[in-house]
Amino acid sequence: MNSGVTKLHGSAPLVGGALLLIQSVGCTYLPLSDPGRGISGRSPNGDIPGSTSFTPSLGTQELLESSTYAGPDEGVYSIQDKNPVTGTLVDFYPSGQKKYEINFIDGLREGSAQWWTASGQLKHLRNYHKGQLSGSWVEYHEGSEQKRQEQIYDNGIEIMRRGWWINGMKRFEATFLNGEEKSRQSWDTAGTPTHEKTSVNPTLKKPEKPNKQP
Q: Supply the pLDDT for residue 198.
A: 79
* pLDDT score recorded for residue 196: 86
pLDDT in tens, 156-179: 999 999 999 999 999 999 999 988
Task: Choose between 47 and 168: higher pLDDT.
Answer: 168
Domains and CATH numbers, the chain: 26-198 (3.90.930)
**3 vs 23: CA distance, rounded Å:** 18
Task: Give yes or no for residue 150 having a pLDDT over 50.
Answer: yes
Residue 60: predicted pLDDT: 85
Adjacent-strand bridge partners of 132: 129
Place 17 in a pLDDT band, splitting at 50, 70 and 90: very low
Please tell me the distance from the alpha carbon of residue 57 to that of residue 55, in angstroms, as a whole number.
Answer: 7
Q: Quick one: pLDDT band at residue 40, thresholds 50, 70, 90?
A: low
At CA 209, angle to CA 207 and CA 214, rounded to 5?
155
The neighbour count for residue 146, using CB atoms within 10 Å, is 12
Name the DSSP class of 41: S
* CA gap 199, 180 in Å, rounded: 10
Residue 15 has pLDDT above 90, yes or no: no
Pick the more confident residue, 148 or 213. Answer: 148
> What is each CA distance from 151 to 22, 32, 104, 202, in whole angstroms?
19, 8, 21, 27
pLDDT of 54 reads: 65
Coil, helix or strand for 24?
helix
Predicted confidence at residue 120, as pLDDT, reads 94
| Average pLDDT over all residues of the chain | 78
Closest CA to 90 of 77, 103, 80: 103
Gyration radius of the chain over CA positions: 23
Distance CA 57, CA 117 (A): 20
| Measured CA distances, 100 to 48, 115, 214 (Å) | 12, 4, 76
Residue 10 has pLDDT above 50, yes or no: no
Contacts for 162 with CB less than 8 Å, ≥ 6 apart: 27, 149, 150, 170, 171, 172, 173, 174
Model confidence over 77-106: pLDDT tens digits? 999 999 999 999 999 999 999 999 999 999
SS3 track for 131-193 = CEEEEEEEEECCCCCCEEEEEEEECCEEEEEEEECCCCCEEEEEEEECCEEEEEEEECCCCCE
- Going by pLDDT thresholds of 50, 70 and 90, the confidence category of residue 53 is low
DSSP-derived 3-state class of residue 112:
strand
